[in-house]
Amino acid sequence: MDFNSKFDIARTAEFIKNRGFHRVALQFPDELLKDSRRIVAALREELQSLSLCPPENLHEANLAQAFVQLYVMADTTYGNCCVDEVGASHVNAECVVHYGPTCLSPTSKLPAWFVFGKASINVKGCADSLFDCLSSSDKPILVIFGLEYEHAIGSVKEEMSLKSSALSGCRSKILYAEAKCSVMHPEKNSSTNSSSGQPEFVDCHDPCDSFEGCGSYSLGGLRWTLPHGGKMEDYLLFWIGPDNPAFGNIVLTYNACEIVRYDPMEDCLVKDKCHQKSILKRRYFLVEKAKDANIVGILVGTLGVGRFTHLSPSPRQI
């Protein structure tokens, strides 16, 4: 896959331009640090084409400050999935561009632009595996995925629409989760419709605010709504992605559901229930270990996640 397309270089530059930011923090997880220099170089080149970034030989401070300044953030204070507003404040950043997996927790002060990345996937192979599950199971299917595969879900839907005509009524048996948003702003919640051919950015204050209600669910940057009267236990969960912490979170949260996993790297369907049971057994072991502890330490910290002060209990609750 083209590097610039994989990391949304053009759309990121347009976001910075449209919002008028001059100090931008780029937050990378550990696994993407090896690509950070290439991403910065590509983003700087794109900004230069928009006359927003100074040439490499420009060192005059007064002139350079008129352009966009990029700052790389690594070694996140708490967790890679959250926006590190504390780290960004050290360079007086006006916004954060977050790369990699994210939980899309609301920010408290700074707007954030999320780049999930685009991992390679065999769309036809994925659709074939999904169709096999659909034809062999009497349960409806909920398709959930790692955010790095969000770019391919539309193609999977199209492929499935061609296959599903072979099974009567099967279209209503498939439900697809969706990513919450691409842009998060701490103060406003509105969709910015683009004009003049500019990209459209989806804004949200707290993604869960506009998605609450009976049958609505949100987990790991994804959201979905079940039909009226539907229960999660009634669905077979079809996970698209590797065996990683995000998948573990799905297994732990919906352990009463039947779960299968399509591995895009191996292009195969994995139905290893023993591995899922081992994840649950480990949680049970840690819970029992905590019960036997004589001394328990509680670490409280924040990256600046929105509404964190609302979690402070009153003296009576303690």
Q: Which domain holds residue 36?
A: 3-54+64-115
What is the C-alpha separation between 7 and 14, in angstroms, rounded?
A: 13
Strand boundaries in 19-165, DSSP class E? 23-27, 69-73, 95-99, 112-115, 141-145
- Consecutive H or E run containing 252: helix 245-253
pLDDT attached to residue 229: 81
What is the C-alpha separation between 170 and 128, in angstroms, rounded?
A: 14
| Structure tokens that stand for 77 in this block | 């204070």
Residue 153: other Cβ atoms inside 10 A: 19
The answer on 111 and 132 residing in a single domain is no
pLDDT at 206 over 60: no
Q: Is the distance from CB of 259 to CB of 239 less than 8 angstroms?
A: yes
The answer on 144 and 90 residing in a single domain is no
Q: Say which residue, 32 or 201, is predicted with more confidence.
A: 32
The CATH code of the domain that includes 20 is 3.40.50.11840
The answer on 276 and 131 residing in a single domain is yes
| Structure tokens that stand for 234 in this block | 């009634």
pLDDT attached to residue 202: 53
pLDDT attached to residue 311: 55
pLDDT attached to residue 167: 60
The answer on 159 and 49 residing in a single domain is no
The answer on 133 and 34 residing in a single domain is no
Q: pLDDT-derived band of residue 318, with 50, 70 and 90 as boundaries?
A: very low
pLDDT attached to residue 172: 57
On whether residue 202 sits in a domain, the answer given is no
Q: Is the distance from CB of 167 to CB of 262 less than 8 angstroms?
A: no
pLDDT attached to residue 241: 93
Q: Is the distance from CB of 145 to CB of 72 less than 8 angstroms?
A: no
pLDDT attached to residue 11: 93
The answer on 243 and 174 residing in a single domain is yes
The answer on 127 and 110 residing in a single domain is no
Domain end call among 115, 136, 154: 115
Across 70-97, average pLDDT: 87
Read off the pLDDT of residues 41-54 as tens digits, 9 standing for 90 and up: 999 999 988 876 65
On whether residue 238 sits in a domain, the answer given is yes
DSSP state of 217: E
On whether residue 158 sits in a domain, the answer given is yes
The answer on 35 and 167 residing in a single domain is no
On whether residue 27 sits in a domain, the answer given is yes
Q: Say which residue, 164 or 172, is predicted with more confidence.
A: 164
Read off the pLDDT of residues 170-188 as tens digits, 9 standing for 90 and up: 555 899 999 888 888 875 4
On whether residue 230 sits in a domain, the answer given is yes
Q: Which of 3-7, 26-30, 293-297 has the weakest average pLDDT?
A: 293-297
- Length of the chain counted residue by residue: 318
List, in order, residues 6 or more apart from 137 with CB less than 8 Å away: 236, 258
On whether residue 104 sits in a domain, the answer given is yes
Q: Is the distance from CB of 231 to CB of 262 less than 8 angstroms?
A: no
What is the C-alpha separation between 203 and 205, in angstroms, rounded?
A: 7
pLDDT attached to residue 121: 94
Q: How many domains in the chain?
A: 2
pLDDT at 73 over 60: yes
| Structure tokens that stand for 277 in this block | 């049971």
Q: What pTM, to 2 d.p., does this model score?
A: 0.78
The answer on 283 and 140 residing in a single domain is yes
On whether residue 73 sits in a domain, the answer given is yes
pLDDT at 295 over 90: no
Residue 306: other Cβ atoms inside 10 A: 18
Across 197-222, average pLDDT: 58
What is the C-alpha separation between 93 and 23, in angstroms, rounded?
A: 5
State percent of the chain over pLDDT 70. 77
